[in-house]
């Protein structure tokens, strides 16, 4: 197996482990895989979970973790700094109002909580505070509102906050 590339080794190792129908599978299976192989292995992992086999893996590909896992644990310096169901962790962090206003009048968000970033003719306000209806009224007066919504943080954002 050592003569295989890292990607092929990563493909073979889970297959070898799965042949024996383990009761629990622990691995960092996605490291070194191309996106097609990641999706294929993720499908196998989900199938095993549906079959009642607990699947425990370690990964820094947090978008994949968010899609694959029911619950997660975040480690920092050898200590568990966050743990729980993905949905619970996301909702516990609070929601962010995100508004995108095109061709906004200068200073439209002055006095509103949060931060405004400008990318070309788009102004993006992100905030976790304030009256969302007042923010929407101000945005509509300022220009053309392309997006207004409430978003939960991603697992990547939660990870960054937990290990900071």
Helix (H, G, I), strand (E, B) or coil at 48: helix
- Residue 130 tokens read as 């304030």
pTM exceeds 0.85, yes or no: no
pLDDT value of residue 10: 64
User: Residue 61: which residues within 8 A CB-CB, separation 6 or more?
Assistant: 30, 38
pLDDT tens for each residue of the chain, 164 residues long: 567 776 676 667 667 767 777 776 666 777 777 888 888 888 888 888 888 888 787 888 888 888 888 899 998 988 999 999 998 988 887 788 999 999 998 899 999 999 999 999 999 999 988 899 999 999 999 999 999 998 888 899 889 888 88
Alpha helical stretches, state H, the chain: 6-19, 35-50, 62-68, 86-92, 132-142, 155-163
CA 70 to chain centre: 13
pLDDT at 99: 95
Q: What is the pLDDT at residue 1? A: 55
- The domain segmentation of the chain, as residue ranges, is 6-69, 94-153
Domain 94-153: which topology? Alpha-Beta Plaits (3.30.70)
Looking at residue 109, its pLDDT comes to 93
């Amino acid at each position: 197996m050592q003569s295989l590339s890292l990607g092929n080794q990563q493909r073979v190792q889970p297959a070898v482990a799965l042949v024996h129908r383990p009761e629990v599978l622990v691995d960092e299976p996605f490291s070194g895989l191309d996106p097609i192989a990641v999706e294929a292995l993720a499908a196998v992992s989900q199938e095993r979970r549906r079959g009642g086999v607990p699947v425990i893996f370690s990964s820094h590909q947090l978008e994949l973790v968010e899609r694959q896992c029911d619950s997660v644990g975040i480690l920092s310096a050898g200590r568990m700094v966050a743990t729980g169901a993905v949905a619970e962790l996301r909702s516990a962090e609070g929601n962010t109002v995100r508004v995108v206003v095109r061709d906004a009048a200068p200073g439209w968000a002055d006095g509103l909580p949060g931060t405004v970033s400008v990318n070309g003719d788009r102004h993006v306000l992100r905030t976790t505070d304030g009256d969302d209806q007042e923010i929407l009224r101000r945005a509509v007066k300022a220009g053309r509102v392309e997006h207004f919504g409430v978003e939960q943080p991603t697992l990547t954002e939660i990870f960054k906050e937990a290990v900071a």
